[in-house]
Amino acid sequence: MIPLYHDFAGETVLVFGGGRVGARKARRFAAEAEVIVVSPDFADDDFGGAERVRDAPAPDGVEEWVARTDPALVVAATDDEAVNEAAERAARGRGALVNRADESGGREAGSVVVPATATDGDVTAAISTGGASPALAKYLRERVESELDGAGAIADLTADLRTELKRDGYAPEKRREAVRAVVRSPSVWKALRTGESNPRQEADRVIRNTMGGDR
């Protein structure tokens, strides 16, 4: 399986099943998409502001829900395998992606896994165990989260630096060398994480060192 990032802004995500798992998926996708959760009952959990609709569709009814809402992704998170299968068929029939919460292992194209995700600003790290061990994915996500502390700010800082170095006419090889040095600089990370010094000034110092007398 190859990880790809997908922009769900402005899209609909249709979730079948309002249990703990349906709620977790709803929360995740509601950060970006319009989420509709269809279920006869709902766990006492946070659904991330998703629209909740009380219904217990039979497999044929599942198809109708998918036709009516035209989702980019269908999440099958019920405890009824026949309903989850119907959700997968209906999604495929309309060219939507499907996430089967009740399956692990190999998948056909269009059947996607939701990875454990750590985020800091625009920086996102996604971890999958190929479905083998979601608990391990969660544990590793917790560890990666602390590694990412400050990464979003460094991404913003280096985006500005790239623009400035281009504008000032530095050769591509020089620019790459400078940006690589900044993202690897312990003093820039420390400045961002502790606030003890100014990160931009630390970055400028690193760049002056890599550019020699050029800047």
Ligand X SMILES: NC(=O)c1ccc[n+]([C@@H]2O[C@H](COP(=O)([O-])OP(=O)(O)OC[C@H]3O[C@@H](n4cnc5c(N)ncnc54)[C@H](O)[C@@H]3O)[C@@H](O)[C@H]2O)c1
Considering the complex, state which of residue 44 and residue 173 has its C-beta at the smaller distance from ligand X. 44
Q: HSE-up of 28 (CA within 13 Å, CB side)?
A: 22
Q: What residues numbered 60-119 form the site for ligand X, per CB under 6 A?
A: 77-80, 83, 101-102
When asked if residue 175 is in the footprint of ligand PQ2 (CB under 6 A), the reply is no
What, of ligand PQ2, ligand X, none, does residue 39 touch, CB below 5 to 8 Å by kind? Answer: ligand X
Selected from 111, 119, 124, 128, the binder of ligand PQ2 by CB under 6 A is: 128
Residues 137 and 117: beta-carbon distance below 8 Å: no
Give the residue nearest to ligand X (CB): 19
- Phi/psi at 88 (5° precision): -65, -45
What, of ligand X, ligand PQ2, none, does residue 138 touch, CB below 5 to 8 Å by kind? Answer: ligand PQ2
d(CA 33, CA 31): 6
User: Where do we find the tokens 């602390």?
Assistant: 146
Selected from 41, 44, 60, 173, the binder of ligand X by CB under 6 A is: 41
User: What type of residue is 202?
Assistant: E
Q: What residues numbered 21-40 form the site for ligand X, per CB under 6 A?
A: 21-22, 38-40
Q: Closest approach of Cβ 57 to ligand X, in Å?
A: 5
Q: Closest approach of Cβ 105 to ligand PQ2, in Å?
A: 8
Helices (H), 70-185: 81-93, 134-147, 151-167, 172-183
210's tokens:
């890599």
User: Where do we find the tokens 């769900």?
Assistant: 8
